[in-house]
Amino acid sequence: MGLLEGKRILVTGVLTDKSIGFHVARVAQEQGAEVVLTAYPRPTLTERTARRLPSGPDAVPPVLELDVTNAAELDALAGNLRDVGFDRLDGVMHAIAFAPQTALGGNFLETGWDDVATAVHASTYSLKSLTMACLPLMKEGGSIVGLDFDASKAWPVYDWMGVAKAGLESCTRYLAKYLGPQGIRVNLVAAGPLATMAAKSIPGFEGTVEMWREAAPLGWDTRDGDPTARACVALLSDWFPATTGAIIHVDGGIHAVGGPPS
């Protein structure tokens, strides 16, 4: 029996089969979950990618278009989920982050508020707004899991996305505080750099990757999304019933040792 047997899980952020969201959906299905996906901005790409999930091309999970910065689409989410047969949710995977290029790559001091606001809205506030949109379908025992990138340090070239991730960590703690009485857990998985489409768009990403490979005590493979996905699925399961507001690091151990060897 799988960790998520009989559970219904919403997974965001599936764009290609390199997306962390894809790996989470894959492992969730392998562990018995019924999955629904959201897509933005290209639902047709997500639908094609979904055919590569274990359910196969003849049993593609539902794909709902959702811009988490659009209040009307968030308001319609619960109804749209019911329309595709999801009258309840046991878990939600938040795998969404975005910042304009001007907010990354060493532009920290020059970035204007409009671009900072876009990054914070899409990468931080969206955890709260997506959670609230899904809340009508969630019962006691539900789990919200988000993707993080350790915000305790100022990483090279990460800039305002690092600030947004710091906000995400704080948002998680407040959601854990306010949703705990309803029996709903909220946690983050802080992954090391993975070779996703989003990561490759960050100027200087390869330098961070090389540093990570050298410094992580367990080593680090940017092509392997499985360890991160397994941690997310474990948190979505019933195996962490008393854990909320936590950050689980899946980074080869680099958070424990600081940086590259001298």
pTM, two decimals, is 0.95
Q: Are strands 247-250 and 8-11 parallel, antiparallel or unpaired?
A: unpaired
Q: What percent of the chain has pLDDT over 70?
A: 97
Type and span of the H or E element at 115: helix 113-120
Q: How far apart are CA 250 and CA 261, in angstroms?
A: 20
Mean of pLDDT values over 64-73: 98
Q: How far apart are CA 223 and CA 255, in angstroms?
A: 19
Q: Which of these, 207, 198, 214, lies nearest to 252 by C-alpha position?
A: 214
Type and span of the H or E element at 164: helix 159-179
Q: Which of these, 62, 57, 58, 7, lies nearest to 29 by C-alpha position?
A: 7
Going by the DSSP 8-state scheme, the letter that residue 85 receives in this structure is T
pLDDT at position 261 over 60: no
The answer for residues whose C-beta is within 8 angstroms of residue 219's C-beta and 6 or more apart is 213, 252
pLDDT band (50, 70, 90) for residue 211 = confident
Span 10-54, pLDDT tens digits: 999 999 999 999 999 999 999 999 999 999 988 999 999 999 999
| pLDDT for 259 | 63
Instruction: Supply the CATH classification number for the domain 8-257.
Output: 3.40.50.720
- Domain extents in the chain: 8-257
pLDDT band (50, 70, 90) for residue 206 = confident
Q: Which residue has the tokens 């909320």?
A: 244
